[in-house]
Chain A
Amino acid sequence: ETGVTQTPRHLVMGMTNKKSLKCEQHLGHNAMYWYKQSAKKPLELMFVYNFKEQTENNSVPSRFSPECPNSSHLFLHLHTLQPEDSALYLCASSPRWGPNEQFFGPGTRLTVL
């Protein structure tokens, strides 16, 4: 499945580093999402972009900064993270914003030391 791609697949970073996660969708969708998946917890929606405009920001700490330059690309910029931010970060897209079928990328496994 190559509809939604994410890079890198694995990332280890120190608390003082700055890194970025990248997501690209090839499905012609207009909505893109960032989720955080931690063990034994529900998927946590972080950000939603609809037609490149941010529509949701679910009280995410400012050390996470999203960027959506166009409907196909989504970035998550990371800086001064904490160890509790270690998780699987999933990108998803859907045809439009709303309770539609979402197509997920493979995720980036992030470890913060």
Chain B
Amino acid sequence: GQQVMQIPQYQHVQEGEDFTTYCNSSTTLSNIQWYKQRPGGHPVFLIQLVKSGEVKKQKRLTFQFGEAKKNSSLHITATQTTDVGTYFCAGSDGNYQLIWGAGTKLIIKP
């Protein structure tokens, strides 16, 4: 079945450093969504990408959808303590279900 692989599983960064998480699908996606889950919280929708090669920005967050619509990335510039949490991608191949990545946990080193 369709899978969405997300790497890395964890990333430790110093505050102020950048952070990137990547998602790769075994099949072409019709769209991909990104969610953030704070520690002890629940997933919260960040953005949806639909077009091939699409790039969207939200302040320090940059989201990209690959040209082949099989991969996506989330990049955070100059991380802050408020960025701590787990970032999930979730893609759809045109069916009704979202296929979720396992998430990347962002940890800010003290």
Asked whether, in the complex, the Cβ of B96 is within 8 Å of the Cβ of A55, the reply is: yes
Residues of B within 8 A of A (CB): 4, 9, 30-31, 33, 41-45, 48, 88, 90-92, 96-98, 100-103
**Restricting to A41-100, which residues have a CB under 8 Å from any CB of B?**
41-43, 45, 48, 55-56, 90, 92, 97-99
Interface of A toward B, CB cutoff 8 Å = 40-43, 45, 48, 55-56, 90, 92, 97-99, 101-107
Which secondary structure dominates where chain A touches chain B? Answer: loop
Bound CA–CA A56/B98 (angstroms): 12
Contact partner, A102, options B41, B98, B103, Cβ 8 Å: B98
Question: How far apart are B95's CB and chain A's nearest CB, in angstroms?
Answer: 8
Cβ A106 vs Cβ B31 within 8 A: no
Contacts of B31 in A (CB 8 A): 99
Residues of A within 8 A of B4 (CB): 42
